[in-house]
Amino acid sequence: MTTKILTLFTLVIISSNALSQINDSIQPIQLNEIELYVKPSKNEVQRMPEIQNGIIYSGKKNEVIKLGNIDADLSINNSRQVFGKVPGVTVWENDGSGIQVGIATRGLSPNRSWEFNTRQNGGDISGESFGYPEAYYSPALESIEKIEIVRGAASLQYGPQFGGLLNYVVKKGNPNKPIAFETQQTTGTYGLYNSYNALGGTYKKISYYAFFHHRSADGWRINNNYEINTGYASITYSITPKMKLCLDYTNMEYNSKQPGGLTDQQFADEPRRSYRNRNWMNVPWNVASINYEYQASENTFITAKVFGIIGERNSVGFVSALTVADTFNNTIKSYNPRQVDRDSYKNIGSEIRVLQSYKFIGQKQSISFGVRAYKGEMNRKQLGKGTTGFDLDVNLIDPNWGRSLTYYTENYAFFAEHLLKIGKRLSITPGVRYEMINNAADGYYKVSGGKQDEISKESRSRNVMLMGVGSEFKTSSTTNVYANFSQNYRPITFSELTPSGTTDVIDPNLKDAYGHNIDCGFRGTLKEAISFDIGGFYLLYNNRIGTINQNGAAFKTNIGTSESKGIESYLEVDVLGLVMNSAKYGHLNLYVSYSYIDAIYTRWDNPALMNDPTKTLTGKKVEYVPQQTQRYGATYIYKTFSATFQLNAIDGVYSDAANTQAANSTATIGKIPGYTIMDASLTYGFSKNYNFKAGVNNLADVNYFTRRAGDYPGPGLMPGNGRTFFVSIGAKF
């Protein structure tokens, strides 16, 4: 693969040098990007510039969340607060630890954010970008400068996922000091302790940033204690004023006890209760990347990135359905052996991009193109016979695994977009992406009677062409109308073929999904006091994989075609800034983030049942898609003090494609009722270098749940956290 990467890199450099001769006197757009981020500090949600780091964002719906400006409980990565101003975000909240962020938009599944192309500093961080895109690693949000979200139109530049891009950008070293220190210490209810300590700075041509993060808690639910440790280091060397090289490395590991799920009656009786006290998950994760940037000429900007992951997902527990109690077995004079499942991931990838500027019809035009090469390997060992104890122990008492599989992925892609400006207001951005994907698998399943079903390195290749076009019209210097059409593609994931679950049944003939995203809207700012983005969308999803109730079990199969369409709207108004001197009285920001989504199945593909009118899914609602997601809030800012109140009103959803109303006996299928949650938090800076933060999550102590799980971390209904408090003290020197 290294030879292929070098060959692709050589071709890109040759083509970029040829293009750079078109007009060498034009100033590159890259040099002006910083100006588009200069906005009032009170606005934590901003937009991407037309071009950034050689990538075109013009005409694409996007959000940039600046975490330094936000009142939120960052100590536990509280997603409903952090993404509160991003309309339509669905959040799974099932353990309160914030270890795994699970979000989605537009009727997609929030499962470990797997419908997003999830990245850190522009490099992949999920287990395997095509075969296992689940994000077991989520960065500590105290370390993050901003979160970049680009909806489905990101499929051309970043990859074919329906959800688009979710990119965490880590803080950088202080550019004005050789050494700067930052610390934030947080404590809270149920044993929460969070410690974040960072060191960074700039000396001559070298800039660096490093942090260590620790978080531990007993958890709101019984048997839900956890501990997570993360270390990070980056160093940037400015080789010349036009060339720089950056290396970064992340090491994370967490141990989390899994309290398991509840039945609906158990949840009604006591949602904090747990009926599993021997279940654990352990995840060590390593992420590394090398980033190279070069302003080759006034017209040509080149970036090259190499990234890699070595990680594991280990679990041990008693994973039978909730109808089976985990009790002492008198026959063997101990508890029953636990099930052990272990995954390991190794992957490496490279992306090379070129931004080329030239002059045409009196305007500065830009072409962004590049290549990607990627290779991944995932080893999955399941159904191991583990120990009978209570602690985290993934050793086996029988050396034979019930299932042992290895999956391989090779992916090469070429992508290009052209920002064509027609006059000073209108721009059109057509684009294309060509994917070459090869998957292979070998290993064995164990079937009835202990006989092994061997797989002799089966492989599958496909070539996929994606196209799209975006447009943007500047109605003023601070507002614009945008529209975009982009095709999307999602191969079957390894976890869908062989989940780590215990009660799910899998269709062996799953097929890849494909479709497209369309969106349009009106966005911008007015008088530095009003910020808005009002738009609509349509998402077509063919061969959607979902779950139906078949003979009392959750059966995962290609359901058919779904369509999601609706409204995504965000409006924020600084009411004090509009009518009086904000320097004297402060800012009072009132905001609403609202989405209306009509997500239904329009085609039902099960050949055995599609002609049975009592079984058809046509017209059924897509699971886990609230019709209305409403978030209202108010933030008051005066000098170094700010306080925020947010209300989240989420409609009820179905947990399976058949829209089963009543829960089954194991609580893996059934309707999830709507809920309303309120949060409040504040920040106060004092003595120049210090800050105090405090907050209450789930102010009214509402009992609610967002998920029913057929496998880990269940099975069963997974409650969200009740009321919790936190206080924090921090300093910067």
Give me the residues paired with residue 214 across strands.
Answer: 195, 229
Residue 601: the pLDDT is 92
Give me the residues paired with residue 56 across strands.
Answer: 51
What does the alpha-carbon distance between residue 10 and residue 19 come to, in Å, rounded to a whole number? 14
H helix count then E strand count, the chain: 6, 39
Query: What's the N-to-C CA distance of the chain in angstroms?
Result: 45
pLDDT above 70: percentage of residues in the chain:
90
pLDDT digits (tens, 9 = 90+) for 330-342: 999 999 999 999 9
pLDDT above 90: percentage of residues in the chain:
77
What does the alpha-carbon distance between residue 604 and residue 600 come to, in Å, rounded to a whole number? 11
Residue 33 has pLDDT above 90, yes or no: no
Residue 391 has pLDDT above 70, yes or no: yes
Could you tell me the residue range of the domain that residue 120 belongs to?
2-732
pLDDT-based confidence at 611, cuts 50/70/90?
low
Give me the residues paired with residue 209 across strands.
Answer: 200, 234
What is the CB neighbour count within 10 angstroms for residue 210? 16
Model pTM score: 0.91
Residue 401 has pLDDT above 80, yes or no: yes
Contact 719, 708 (CB under 8 A): no
Residue 34: the pLDDT is 33
What is the CB neighbour count within 10 angstroms for residue 577? 22
Beta-sheet pairing, 452-474 with 226-240? unpaired
- What is the mean predicted confidence (pLDDT) over 179-187? 98
What does the alpha-carbon distance between residue 403 and residue 349 come to, in Å, rounded to a whole number? 28
Residue 185 has pLDDT above 90, yes or no: yes
Residue 27: the pLDDT is 41
Contact 477, 424 (CB under 8 A): no
Residue 146: the pLDDT is 97
Phi-psi region of 201 (alpha: psi -120 to 50; beta: other; left: phi over 0): left
Residue 20 has pLDDT above 50, yes or no: no
Helix, strand and coil in the chain, % to nearest 5: 10, 55, 35
pLDDT digits (tens, 9 = 90+) for 354-378: 999 999 999 999 999 999 999 999 9
Residue 75 has pLDDT above 80, yes or no: yes
Start-end of H helices in 388-511: 494-497
pLDDT digits (tens, 9 = 90+) for 296-310: 999 999 999 999 999
Residue 105 has pLDDT above 70, yes or no: yes
Q: Among 168-172, 498-502, 627-631, where is mean pLDDT lowest?
A: 498-502
Contact 59, 483 (CB under 8 A): yes
- What is the mean predicted confidence (pLDDT) over 394-406? 93
Contact 13, 115 (CB under 8 A): no
Phi first, then psi: give them for residue 499, nearest 5 degrees.
-70, 165
Is the link from the previous residue into 28 a cis peptide, with omega within 30 of 0? no
Residue 607: the pLDDT is 57
Phi-psi region of 289 (alpha: psi -120 to 50; beta: other; left: phi over 0): beta
pLDDT digits (tens, 9 = 90+) for 571-603: 999 999 888 877 789 999 999 999 999 999 998
3-state class of 37 per DSSP?
helix
Contact 168, 144 (CB under 8 A): yes
Residue 504: the pLDDT is 62
Residue 507: the pLDDT is 79
- For residue 389, the 8-state DSSP code is S
What does the alpha-carbon distance between residue 527 and residue 312 come to, in Å, rounded to a whole number? 50
| Triad 360, 365, 367: Cα angle to 5° | 125
Q: Is the dihedral of CA 663, 667, 670, 675 positive or negative?
A: positive
What are 166's two structure tokens? 């979710």
CATH number of domain containing 211: 2.40.170.20
- What is the mean predicted confidence (pLDDT) over 309-326? 94
What does the alpha-carbon distance between residue 234 and residue 171 come to, in Å, rounded to a whole number? 10
pLDDT-based confidence at 531, cuts 50/70/90?
very high
What does the alpha-carbon distance between residue 406 and residue 455 come to, in Å, rounded to a whole number? 10
Residue 287: the pLDDT is 98
Residue 454: the pLDDT is 77
Residue 115 has pLDDT above 80, yes or no: yes
**Which residues lie closer than 8 Å to 245 by C-beta, 6 or more apart?**
236, 237, 239, 290, 291, 292, 293
pLDDT-based confidence at 612, cuts 50/70/90?
low
pLDDT-based confidence at 446, cuts 50/70/90?
confident
**Which residues lie closer than 8 Å to 18 by C-beta, 6 or more apart?**
none
Contact 106, 539 (CB under 8 A): yes
Contact 663, 679 (CB under 8 A): no
pLDDT-based confidence at 131, cuts 50/70/90?
confident
Residue 473: the pLDDT is 98
Q: What is the DSSP string of 497-552?
A: HS-S-SSEEE-TT---EEEEEEEEEEEEEETTTEEEEEEEEEEEEEEEEEEEEETT
Is the link from the previous residue into 713 a cis peptide, with omega within 30 of 0? yes
Residue 482: the pLDDT is 98
Q: How many residues does the chain have?
A: 733
Side chain identity at residue 413, one-letter code:
A
What is the tally of structural domains in the chain?
Answer: 1
Specify the residue for token string 């099930």. Answer: 339
What are 40's two structure tokens? 């009032």
pLDDT digits (tens, 9 = 90+) for 538-562: 999 999 887 776 766 667 788 889 9
Residue 37 has pLDDT above 60, yes or no: no
Contact 254, 217 (CB under 8 A): no
Beta-sheet pairing, 243-257 with 280-295? antiparallel
Extended beta strands in 529-668, E state: 530-550, 553-574, 587-604, 628-638, 641-650, 653-654
Residue 502 has pLDDT above 90, yes or no: no
Of 316-320, 353-357, 439-443, 498-502, highest mean pLDDT: 353-357
Alpha-carbon distances, residue 99 vs 96, 185, 229, 705 (angstroms): 8, 18, 10, 18
Mean pLDDT (the chain, rounded): 90
pLDDT-based confidence at 11, cuts 50/70/90?
very low
Q: Which residue has the higher pLDDT, 14 or 725?
A: 725
Side chain identity at residue 181, one-letter code:
F
3-state class of 113 per DSSP?
helix
Residue 4 has pLDDT above 60, yes or no: no
**Which residues lie closer than 8 Å to 316 by C-beta, 6 or more apart?**
278, 279, 280, 338, 339, 340, 341, 386, 387, 392, 393, 394
What are 202's two structure tokens? 């700039």
3-state class of 471 per DSSP?
strand
3-state class of 99 per DSSP?
coil
CA-closest candidate to residue 292, choices 350, 343, 336: 350
Contact 322, 263 (CB under 8 A): yes
Phi-psi region of 198 (alpha: psi -120 to 50; beta: other; left: phi over 0): beta
What does the alpha-carbon distance between residue 467 and residue 464 come to, in Å, rounded to a whole number? 10
